[in-house]
Structure 1
Amino acid sequence: MHHEQTKQQILEAFQFRHATKSFDPTKKITSEDFSFILETARLSPSSFGYEPWNLLVIQNEALRNEIRNVSWGAQGQLPTASHYVIFLARTGEQMQPDGAHVQHMMDVLGLTDEAKAGRTKRYGLFLEEDFQIGRNEKAMADWSAKQAYIALGNMMSTAAQIGIDSCPIEGFDQQAVEQLLEQHDLLDRSVFTVPVMVAFGYRSDEPKREKQRRSLDEIVTFID
């Protein structure tokens, strides 16, 4: 029975979650709950285990207002969200086999020198031959962003399961946001890009309609 209850609770959380356009500014997420949400990002999987993302939690009101000026898709969320997170994704240079971050992550993973050499070779083949992105800076940055979206999804799903609302945001001038963060010494554009942002808090209003999605039959094909 516990197994079925867990499944039902998870589905209820997914039904609960919606793209919250405006939050109740009087309700704040506790530090314990937000740390829990952040921990699910930290524990999220990534290709080769290289975690090509960092997070900025923007709580400063003045900075939020500056970001709002170049973020058409966050007009309601930035002034009202309890917590506002900007995802940073590593650039292609950082994610090359000999890049600083990749070398650091192999140390984090506790690899021996022999294991590092084998992984470096395999990773290089993956970039150059399997995905053919190793020489394309934009493609490499986009690949890093794809990894960040895994953590983003886990954070939003986790939040929904404890009754916290969220909204992922791509509606912003990417170059302007990156320049703004760099001006505030929060971003080195040779190291990071900004692929997505996300707001967390408690909804001010209920959704106007139920969740609408395609059926499983339309999106899933079983190959027996």
Structure 2
Amino acid sequence: MVDGVWGRGVVGVFGGVGVLVGVLAGCEVPPAPQAAPGPTAGVAERSARPSVGQPPARPSAGASGQACPEGGVRLAEGGGDAAMSLRVEGYELLNCGAVDYVLEGFPEVRLLDKARRPVEVAVGHGSAPITSQVPAVDAPAERVLLKPGQAASLTTVWRNLVTDSSVPAVEGWALEVTPKPGAPRLTLELTRPVDLGNTGRLGIGPWRAASPRR
């Protein structure tokens, strides 16, 4: 897939780096036609995204007691930002194996609903036409070498809008990711849904080396 090219389907490719504080502040956010309903109150209270300007939480990719999946890498939720209808969400891929792991470009992904059915969504490289530039999403693809214990980040962007009342709003509650060609597919249960409304678009960035934990 070429950056900026969008297509209708249930399978996409995306990646990027952890969400930067204030990344949405520079985005030109056009007036929202109508905000889509968010997750249920219980979910919102338990796992609400931080508002813009707050440091995003770092994922617990290296949590003890978890077996390293086949393939030697583990996927985890990262931090996120929300401004009006705009969403920016990060994920991390940890090398939990014993050998080096190389990434380049974009992974292959699927978004699943609560019933584990594929969500139909148009995916593309970069933040357009969803919003103006988001650095982590619009960064050029590069080769990322992960030593054992190191992580790579990916970033996604979308809008939670209802633009047509006759089209049901949809949410993704699980993420299926194939980090690179030939690698085993990983499934991540999400605590914060990808609440697309009925926009049907998801912007994605490339794999990037994650910032070291402090």
Which TM-score band applies after superposition, normalised by the shorter structure? under 0.3
Q: Which has the higher helix share?
A: 1
Q: Which has the higher strand share?
A: 2
Structure-1-length-normalised TM-score: 0.24
Larger Rg belongs to: 1
Structure-2-length-normalised TM-score: 0.25
